[in-house]
Chains A and B, each alone.
Chain A
Amino acid sequence: MNRRLFMMMLLAGATALMSTTAARADEKSDLQARFKERFARLSQLRGDGTVGETWEGWVKSLKEAAPEIAALIEAENTDRAKLCAIIAKEIGATPEEVGRRNALRIFRSAEPNHYLMTDNGKWVQKKDLKSKE
Chain B
Amino acid sequence: MTTHSTASSAASSFRWLRLGAILAAATLMFAAGCKTEHKVDTNSVIEIKPIYARIDVYLKVDKELDSFFDFEETIKPHVNPDSNKKPDAGASTNGGAK
Listed in ascending order, the chain A residues whose CB lies under 8 Å from chain B are 28, 32, 35-36, 39-40, 43-44, 47-49, 51, 54, 58-65, 69-71, 73-74, 77, 81, 83, 87, 90-93, 97-98, 101-102, 104-105, 109, 111-113, 115, 117, 123, 125
A73 touches B66 (CB 8 A): no
B96 touches A109 (CB 8 A): no
How far, in whole Å, are A32 and B94 apart by their CA atoms in the complex? 25
**CB of B44 within 8 A of chain A?**
no
**CB of B79 within 8 A of chain A?**
yes
Listed in ascending order, the chain B residues whose CB lies under 8 Å from chain A are 57-58, 60-62, 64-66, 68-69, 71-72, 75-77, 79-81, 83-88, 91-98
B97 touches A113 (CB 8 A): no
Q: List 7 A-B contacts (CB under 8 A).
A: A63-B87, A81-B98, A87-B61, A87-B68, A101-B58, A101-B65, A105-B66
Point out the residues of chain A lying under 8 angstroms from B85, CB to CB: 48-49
B72 touches A61 (CB 8 A): no
What's the nearest-Cβ distance from chain A to residue B75, in Å? 6
